[in-house]
Amino acid sequence: MNDKEQPGDLSDMVFRLAPPHPHMTDQDFLSAVFLVTRSTIPPEDFFEVLVQRHGYAKVDNSDTEQNVKIIKARTIMVLINWLKTNHFLIEIPLFEKIRVFLESNSTKEQITKIQEFNKEVFALPSSIVRKVPESISSFQSEFSPFDMIIYFPDSIARQLTLIEFELFSKLQEIEFQGQVWNKEKTHAIAPNLLELIERANAVSYWVAISILSQSRLKDRVNVVSNFIKLAAKLKELNNFNTLMAIIAGFNIASVSRLKNTFSNLKKSQQEHWEEIADTMNPAHNFKKYKAALAAAGCSAIPYVGMILANLTAMEDGNDDFVVGDDNKKKLNISKYVMIHKIISNTLSYYTYTTNFTIEKEDPLYSFCLELPSLPDEELYELSLLR
């Protein structure tokens, strides 16, 4: 733990952000402090301490004129960056106070920057709220929706990956914070993340219904073998999130009980499937998956379920405050530095676009966007007939 990550109160955090000497901004620490203001410290308190830090420079005779300028500039820089990344949590009265303070204490260049993002501040909801997708005509073809996997496993894998990436690229940092995806009252903050989770469930249930809709054993075996081909292609594309959804589909109770279907796969297919599924084995904290993800570099779509589990463990397993040597309660800023690093690493996979060359192929893309499904009860009734 470096010095900046030592526990401290809010004034300590602000002092580390705006010290009286030139320094390189530690982005991890800066983001971690901003995280604190979204979950532990009220925005009003953070603004008040920043104002105090800015005003302190005026009366501190021990600081040189140059140091005073540094403190002022750093404080304004922190405030502007905080406003840019947290304005969705700031009520209008506080926002007006911040605006007045910045306009009174900023340079002309800084005021210009404030004015540039002013419009973005009030237009924020459009950037985080999911847009209603355009209606897509039902897929019309000579193939049953439940037979599509038989004819186009590789193409479907590519279209599933394209859709997954489109969803992944919409994710915002705020959607990973404070377990907002787990709390109904905060679902509105994480629309894109929730859509990604719902998408994984849709893929899993599509796997189940595609297998169970086949009344003949040989047809079920054929469908399963083609899902194995699709899974292999997903692994090749480093689309680990959809790969996990396929594996989850095989593990749905109504599917996993079809012992006769799986036993009729060729031995080579069974071994191939075991190898693919083993990549996502949670044993040893997903050791094999982590190795595969590391080998893929940033050209991958990571398994979001593990990321959310890690964030939950980090938040629940570490206190927001700790007691210092002086027996005073202090912010456990190292917790938020670790959380920020997990989120930052996740969002770094946006660079997948540099190697992303999959093109939309309709009508397969439309089919993959609106996958068929059935509720568990009906799936299990079908399973009993197989």
What's the CATH number where 220 sits?
Answer: 1.10.840.10
Question: Is 286 found in the same domain as 173?
Answer: yes
Q: pTM for the full model? A: 0.76
Domain count of the fold of the chain: 2
What one-letter code names the amino acid at 59?
Answer: V
Asked if residue 158 is part of any domain, the answer here is yes
> What pLDDT is recorded for position 125?
38
Task: Please report which confidence band the pLDDT of residue 257 belongs to, taking 50, 70 and 90 as the band edges.
Answer: very high
Do residue 169 and residue 108 come from a single domain?
no
Looking at the fold, whether 274 and 366 belong to one and the same domain comes out as: yes
φ/ψ of 137, rounded to 5, equals: -65, 145
Residues 179 and 115 in one domain: no
Structure-token pair, residue 103: 């306009």
pLDDT higher than 90, residue 222: yes
As a whole number of Å, the CA-based R_g of the chain is 26
Average of per-residue pLDDT across 72-86? 82
CB 367 within 8 A of CB 139: yes
Q: What is the mean pLDDT of residues 353-370?
A: 79
Identity of the amino acid at 263: S
For 125-151, how does the pLDDT look when each residue is reduced to its tens digit (9 = 90+)? Answer: 333 333 333 333 344 444 555 567 777
Residue 208 pLDDT exceeds 80: yes
- Does the residue 136 lie in any domain? no
**Which among 285, 223, 271, 219 is positioned nearest to 250, based on CA atoms?**
223
Does the residue 135 lie in any domain?
Answer: no
Tell me the three state secondary structure of residue 7. Answer: coil
Is residue 183 domain-shared with residue 98, that is, in the same domain? no
For the chain, the maximum distance between any two Cα atoms, rounded to a whole number of angstroms, is 87
Looking at the structure, tell me whether residues 154 and 124 fall in a common domain.
no
Higher pLDDT, 294 or 375: 294
| Rounded average pLDDT over 5-9 | 78
Domain stop point among 128, 157, 190: 128
The reply to whether 229 and 153 lie within a common domain is yes
pLDDT of amino acid 279: 95
* Residue 91 placed within a domain: yes
Question: Would 62 be classed as within a structural domain?
Answer: yes
- Please tell me the predicted confidence (pLDDT) of residue 312: 93
Residues 57, 72: contact at Cβ < 8 Å?
A: yes
DSSP state of 137: P
8, 109, 240, 295, 300 from 276: Cα distances, Å: 47, 55, 11, 16, 16
Under a CB-based contact definition with an 8 Å cutoff, are residues 229 and 152 in contact?
Answer: no
Task: Return the higher-pLDDT residue of 111 and 16.
Answer: 16
* The one-letter amino acid at 198: E
pLDDT band at 218 (very low <50, low <70, confident <90, very high): very high
Q: Which domain holds residue 82?
A: 3-128
How far apart are the C-alpha atoms of 67 and 97, rounded to whole Å? 26
Residue range 303-319: mean pLDDT, rounded: 92
State the chain's mean pLDDT as an integer: 82
- Length of the chain in terms of residues written: 386
What was the pLDDT predicted at 242?
A: 97
pLDDT at 133: 35
Nearest to 209 by CA among 65, 371, 346, 354: 371
Residues 152 and 124 reside in one and the same domain: no
Is residue 143 situated within a structural domain?
no
Contacts 24+ apart (CB under 8 A), 24-33: 25/77, 28/337, 28/340, 28/341, 28/344, 29/4, 29/5, 29/333, 29/337, 30/78, 30/81, 31/340, 31/344, 32/5, 32/333, 32/336, 32/337, 32/339, 32/340, 33/333, 33/336
Dihedral, CA atoms, 209, 210, 214, 219, nearest 10 degrees?
A: -150
Please check whether residue 141 lies inside any domain of the structure: no
CATH number at residue 106: 1.20.870
User: In angstroms, how far is CA 357 from the centroid of its own chain?
Assistant: 22
Residues 113 and 152 in one domain: no
pLDDT band at 87; cut points 50, 70, 90: low
Question: Considering 71, 100, 128, which residue would you say is the last residue of a domain?
Answer: 128
Q: Which residue has the higher pLDDT, 223 or 354?
A: 223
C-alpha separations of 360 from 155, 299, 331 in Å: 10, 19, 48
**137 located within any domain:** no
Mean pLDDT score, 322-351: 85
pLDDT tier at 209, thresholds 50, 70, 90: very high
Same domain, yes or no: 12 and 104:
yes
CB of 226 within 8 A of CB of 269? no
Helix axes 333-347, 27-39, angle to 10 degrees: 110
Q: Lowest mean pLDDT: which of 19-33, 105-119, 262-276?
A: 105-119
Helices 65-86, 92-105: axis angle to 10 degrees equals: 150
Question: Considering 67, 93, 128, which residue would you say is the last residue of a domain?
Answer: 128
Same domain for 252 and 377: yes
> Are 189 and 288 in the same domain?
yes
How much of the chain exceeds pLDDT 90, in percent?
34
Reply yes or no on whether the pLDDT at 202 is more than 50. Answer: yes
